[in-house]
């Protein structure tokens, strides 16, 4: 029997996003809230303020606030802990992790509906990069790559993951049943220690890939993928140096995942 979704929390890390982008994002979230309330589903959204210069109480509610940038990994883990701890209202049935620029909030009702009619524990929405003026990858090819990526999660096939993750699409648009996500939290915390041991650095970005690999380790059968749309990437994500850095970070996260039992 499928467990209905009655309470949803969405969280969005913020750092470099300008005020106008955040305002447009919030306007879409208001539309989402109205749709879900009409279905008698509670919806709350919180920012995870990671040293953002644009955030204010007037702009939106922040679940956590960092006075300086601590990086995406720490920010997301603290955000999930705050959701689980019930610091803001009742415990949700579903947690949606969504970015302010790359992801479309209007997909959230569709995500909720998908969970309400399945026994899914996680839903991942790859969002393909697209630079204005350049041809888009044919949809059939994108769907093939999504299938290839899923097959590479268990057993892990690093060469396939590295060829697709952040090279074809990022996977930061994610939704989890709360109990399942909470079960992953101890390994989320352990991963930060492992990352420091491997690199001698503090973890920053790359956490989304690790979360996917750990989720697949625990329950690949109840993880699904849906195409999340197209997005024009940040300017700094287009250069060869950033692409190479993303590859190296993905390699490190695969090694962290292996040490946490992904194989």
Average pLDDT by consecutive 10-residue portion of the chain (263 residues)? 90 92 95 97 95 80 92 94 72 95 94 95 92 82 94 97 91 96 96 96 90 97 93 69 86 97 95
Indicate the number of domains in the chain: 1
pLDDT at residue 201, rounded to an integer: 92
Residue 2 lies in a domain: no
Q: What is the pLDDT of residue 238?
A: 66
Best CA proximity match to 250, nearest among 169, 186, 187: 169
For the question of whether the overall pTM of this predicted structure is more than 0.85, the answer is yes
> Is there a domain that residue 1 lies in?
no
Q: Is residue 242 part of a domain?
A: yes
The CATH number that applies at residue 121 is 3.90.550.10
- Best CA proximity match to 11, nearest among 80, 110, 68: 80
**H helices of the chain, where?**
19-38, 72-84, 108-116, 139-151, 158-164, 178-199, 207-219, 240-259
Please give the pLDDT value at position 231: 82
């Amino acid at each position: 029997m499928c467990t209905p979704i009655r309470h949803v929390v969405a969280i969005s890390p913020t750092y470099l996003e300008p005020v106008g982008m955040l305002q447009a994002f919030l306007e879409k979230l208001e539309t989402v809230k109205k749709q879900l309330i009409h279905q008698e589903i509670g919806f709350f959204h919180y920012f995870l303020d990671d040293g953002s210069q644009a955030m204010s109480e007037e702009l939106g509610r922040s679940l956590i606030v960092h006075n300086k940038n601590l990086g995406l990994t720490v920010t997301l883990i603290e955000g999930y802990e705050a959701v689980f701890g019930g610091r803001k209202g009742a415990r949700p049935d579903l947690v949606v992790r969504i970015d302010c620029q790359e992801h479309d909030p209007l997909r959230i009702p569709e995500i909720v509906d998908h969970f309400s009619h399945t026994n899914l524990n996680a839903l991942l929405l790859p969002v393909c990069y697209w630079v204005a003026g350049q041809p888009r990858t044919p949809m059939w090819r994108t769907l093939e790559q999504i299938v290839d990526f899923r097959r590479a999660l268990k057993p892990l096939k690093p060469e396939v993951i590295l060829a697709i993750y952040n090279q074809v699409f990022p996977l930061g648009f994610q939704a989890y049943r709360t109990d399942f996500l909470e079960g992953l939290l101890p390994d989320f915390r352990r991963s930060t220690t492992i990352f420091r041991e491997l690199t001698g650095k503090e973890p920053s970005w790359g956490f989304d890939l690790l979360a996917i690999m750990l989720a697949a380790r625990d329950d690949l059968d109840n993880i699904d993928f849906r195409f999340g749309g197209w997005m024009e990437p940040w300017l700094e994500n287009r250069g060869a140096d950033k692409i190479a850095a993303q590859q190296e970070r993905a390699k490190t996260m695969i090694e962290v995942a292996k040490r946490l039992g992904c194989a």
